[in-house]
A and B are shown apart, each in its own frame.
Chain A
């Protein structure tokens, strides 16, 4: 399993997609931090979430994971992957762990960059800054969100073989379906894996995340359990499909 995990990480490192999307994620996170840090007047209570919660790694690692596994079908590299690892369950497990690890790495990089920039701006503007413990806690929670979304993305990509359909479907579910559900049936939407559960896992309230005051998010621990259930379901369905699919 270690060798397969290592191989999957090399796959990630050796294409431009990961570097490009990670770079975009860092840039967007820094831009948000800079804008909020420069234009808002955060209080001591609100500064942590207002300025330092701009980590967008979760969404990007989700897209990367979907692109990563559906790309195996698109580029037909799935054949050489499965010849090297004929046990398809082990292959899928290694890919899931690899994208979870990549999510953690990307999130930590963003957290470090955001923390440096945010602290610099707040210090120059002589505004209150959060304590180191609070920043570390937020970074850890964001990393957990990124890991969970990375793993979830692999399950989705294993289910939807067509890369374009998978990515477009992901965007539609993230930005249209779940957002609509949050507005119309918030009691159902609180279990949504793209927005509600990641927000809850990060310990951010619905109001702070701009999701309205109707949505009552789960407690962080429960949100993690619910995310794991989504990941388990997607992984199991993806694994069954992968086992049954012939590579003609």
Chain B
């Protein structure tokens, strides 16, 4: 059974279709990136999964149950939402005490999670109104970890974190997945997601565009309408370009001597060069970044 199952979720706000028939799954022991442009419906999807917004159709299930039907929700699911808010007059420690009490977690967990997110005693005993954005985000993550949950759902968790904080969060996500936890993380910081996730789900305008293991989705994108792209540089670049064009291969040059051969894999380009005894300086598949794939998957639907 998948840790999280989104089954045909649909939500309209007036005339706006926020999410349409969205389905995907998140497995235990993996970090799944949930990507989409602003307004794509990510937060609405997460809020429907958590019972904060009622869907028009479909369901979001956590280990087969709706969030509100879980026997001990905060021990099973840890949540960081994008607009994580705290009473400004309450200290960070007291905020966690409230949540630990409501969730029936041992009060000792408060100090444990504060230590885990590296919020020291002085910061923990300060009122939240004096917190920086990064400290608020750490506090939100501490709250999510209180119940040592099997499932972590994080909406833009890197917001406000400085580079060491982002790295800490990335390591934390990986360690949670390594412990068998399911982690669903939405983020607009694609480079961070690329370094942290095993699987990705891409949505745009509330509709699923792609989902699966990161490499598979990138590959599918790479081999989409434009086919594979090979990056090649030869000692005699002009001659190689003429030979490849003679075979009907479309070429682009980046101006530094590198040719990008579209629609052919490196094996074909290498074979042409070998056939004519041309020395190659560089040959390989042009890897596409997550950003490229993301834009490709979402740009057609604007």
Partner of A247 from B53, B67, B87, B94 at Cβ < 8 Å: B53
**14 intermolecular pairs with C-beta atoms under 8 Å apart:** A10-B94, A10-B98, A15-B87, A15-B90, A17-B89, A75-B86, A77-B85, A79-B85, A80-B99, A83-B73, A86-B73, A246-B53, A246-B54, A247-B53
**A125 an interface residue at 8 Å Cβ cutoff?**
no
Q: How far is the CA of A87 from the CA of B74 in the complex (A)?
A: 13
Chain B proximity of A15: nearest CB distance (Å): 4
- CB-CB < 8 A to B97: which residues of A? 10, 14
Q: Which stretch of A1-9, A53-61, A100-108, A199-207 is in the interface?
A: A1-9
> CB-CB contacts of B1-38 with A at 8 A, as 1s and 0s?
00000000000010000000000000000000000000
A15–B85 CB distance below 8 A: no
Q: Which residues from chain A contact B162 at a C-beta distance below 8 Å? A: none
Among A10, A76, A84, contact of B74 (Cβ-Cβ < 8 Å): A84
Produce 1/0 per residue, B43-73, CB < 8 A to A.
0100100111110000000000001101001
Residues of A within 8 A of B47 (CB): 246-248
Residues of B within 8 A of A163 (CB): none
Specify which of B81, B88, B89, B103 is in contact with A79 (CB 8 Å cutoff): B81
Most A CB contacts (10 A, CB to CB) among B83, B84, B87 go to B87
Q: B87, A77: Cβ atoms under 8 Å?
A: yes
Interface size class of B (residues with CB under 8 A): 20 to 34
> Interface 1/0s, chain A 78-115, versus B by CB < 8 A?
01111111110000000000000000000000000000
The answer to whether B86 touches A246 (Cβ under 8 A) is: no
Q: Does the CB pair A79–B83 fall under 8 Å?
A: yes
Tell me whether A83 and B90 are in contact in the complex, defined as CB-CB below 8 angstroms, given that A3-B102, A3-B104 are known contacts.
no
Inter-subunit contact A75/B52 (CB<8 Å): no
Cβ-defined partner of A14 (8 Å) among B50, B79, B88, B94: B94
A71 CB within 8 Å of chain B = yes
Q: How far is the CA of A14 from the CA of B86 in the complex (A)?
A: 12
- How close is B106's CB to chain A, nearest CB, in angstroms? 12
Bound together, the chains give a CA A84 to CA B97 distance in angstroms of 12
Name the residue on B nearest A88 (C-beta).
B68
A193-245 contacts to B, CB under 8 A, are: none
Residue pair A82, B99 in contact (C-beta under 8 Å): no
Bound Cα distance A127, B52 (Å): 61
